[in-house]
Structure 1
Amino acid sequence: MFLHFGLLLFLPQGLYGKVDISEAKDGDSRIIGGKDATPGMAKYQVSIRTHNGEKEWHTCGGSIINQQYILTAARCIVGKRADELSIVVGSHQINTGGTRHKIKKLVPHEKFSKATGKNDIGVVQVKGKIQYNDNVQPIQLVKQHIRIGRKCLLTGWGKTDLKKNIYPNNLQILYFQTVSNYGCTKKLYTRPSVRPGLPVNNGQLCAKHPKNQGMCHGDSGGPLVFEEGNKFLQLGVASWGISCAKDFPDVFASVPGNYAWIQSKIKLSNS
């Protein structure tokens, strides 16, 4: 993982000409340069699976925000039907374990743009309720923006090797550090192919990763969190980046910047 986490974030090809930003990121990867998560770590992490007949595969990450709702990237669910996706919680391995949940409703942001990567956030309502246990717990969402330079953690099952097309079985972790949207925009602007998605706005945030590490295909929708006290708080949702593990910041949907939208959709669905 950590080549490119988002669908938008990580597609095999770059953005050239009139190619959507989503195609410029490797949207189905694992974190490149990451390492195995400890079993039981990131209990809020979910795997969003796509189905085709009897076959299924991991396509995106997400996080548990309560017993009925999952937070993910809009790119992961827009244009999809609820019956062609499912959610698996409670396992740090793709091939085994966990509990599967069918989906009741997919709610991507109404203003999500595949071409620019703006408003790349969505919620998924599961059928029934997610049962909490030692391996399944919700993540608390951050309401206010935090300082630049904060150390954060990304988890996911995105590609770990882009050239060899290798995906991990074990959940991967990688540390990031938040950077300013201004500095991020300035850095990304050197790549003409992604200029349609710039500048990075208040609904987004950027984080830099270690050299030769970063999000990749399959990481989209995954939770960017930071530790405060004895708990983790979610700050971002993996959205897009420049190829996998290149020397550019990765872009996330900002949880504080979209907090009101998230709450409104949860309340609307419950009403």
Structure 2
Amino acid sequence: MANYQVSIRVHRGRKDFHTCGGSIINEEYVLTAAHCIYRKNMKEMSIVVGSHTIDKGGNRYKIKKLIPHLDYYKPTVKNDIGIVQIQGKIKYNDKVQPIELLKEMAPIGKKCLFTGWGYTDLKGKTLPNNLQMLEFETISNDDCTKQLKSSPYPKLVPVNAGQLCAKRPNNKGACYGDSGGPLVIQDDKNKTVQIGVVSWVVPCAEQYPDVFNSVHGYYDWIQSKIK
């Protein structure tokens, strides 16, 4: 389950912190959000794959290159997509597998699964050790824009073709630490494919939809960077 999930870590002294999620797209590359890697020092970062717990297990890889989208624009969180190239090659096993990317537009009203280690309780700043899962449902960008206009961040809308939105369960949702993590669906052939990358949310578990970068919207960009 979610054997494509990665944890992006930052090191301070001997300590090691989970900062963002990501997904394995092939042996050398991990897909994440631009804001997770923008202007960061890759020497202080690493990637952990193959574990559903933060404190143990999995394999660690050093980073060779951080590739945030050149048009990433922080004030409106647009083009918030990025790729991490790791040193060497990720070894696949039953706990470590790449995820296929959906080339077409994601269907509306489709159940999807989100995984991450972001805060489960914002007030208490509780970071989970175990990977959390939530079922979302995709909604249209128009509907999403309408709902987010009344949010505390009206300047971040309208959502554009590079973004997609999903409605989350009541009082649950993506939060700090979930950024860059994968939103996936089962396609017609029952294969798990990635449709989104967490970009921004009204923190956290508010009544608004969560906003993802659309894998379909950046499909060509992603392919061009991992060739």
User: Shorter-chain-normalised TM-score: which range?
Assistant: over 0.9
SS at match of 1:115: helix
Match of 1:220 among 175, 179, 187: 179
Q: Which residue of 1 aligns with 2:88?
A: 128
Q: Could you tell me how far apart the structure 2 residues matched to 1:214 and 1:154 are? A: 9
Give identity over the alignment, percent: 62
By how many angstroms is 1:120 displaced? Answer: 0.5
Asked whether 1:57 is paired with 2:17, we answer: yes
Match of 2:123 among 152, 155, 163: 163
Q: Could you tell me how far apart the structure 2 residues matched to 1:136 and 1:245 are? A: 29
RMSD: 0.8
Match of 1:119 among 66, 71, 79: 79
Per-residue Cα deviation, 1:235-254 (whole angstroms, up to 9, x for no partner)? 00001111100000000000
SS at match of 1:257: coil
Per-residue Cα deviation, 1:115-156 (whole angstroms, up to 9, x for no partner)? 101001000000000000010000000001022101000000
Q: Could you tell me how far apart the structure 2 residues matched to 1:180 and 1:243 are? A: 21
Letter in 1 for 2:11: H
Gaps of 5+ in 2: none
Match of 1:205 among 152, 164, 170: 164
Gaps of 5+ in 1: 1-40
By how many angstroms is 1:231 displaced? Answer: 2.2
Match of 1:238 among 190, 195, 198: 198
Asked whether 1:175 is paired with 2:135, we answer: yes
Q: Could you tell me how far apart the structure 2 residues matched to 1:187 and 1:205 are? A: 13
Between the two structures, name the one with larger relative contact order (CA 8 Å, sep ≥ 6): 1
Per-residue Cα deviation, 1:162-211 (whole angstroms, up to 9, x for no partner)? 111111111000000000100100110012x4122110000000000011
SS at match of 2:107: coil
SS at match of 1:97: coil
Letter in 1 for 2:19: T
TM-score scaled to structure 1, two decimals?
0.82
Q: Could you tell me how far apart the structure 2 residues matched to 1:187 and 1:177 are? A: 15
By how many angstroms is 1:230 displaced? Answer: 3.5
SS at match of 1:185: helix
Q: Could you tell me how far apart the structure 2 residues matched to 1:122 and 1:72 are? A: 5
Match of 1:195 among 123, 135, 154: 154
Q: Could you tell me how far apart the structure 1 residues matched to 2:80 and 2:89 are? A: 25
Per-residue Cα deviation, 1:30-54 (whole angstroms, up to 9, x for no partner)? xxxxxxxxxxx10000000001121
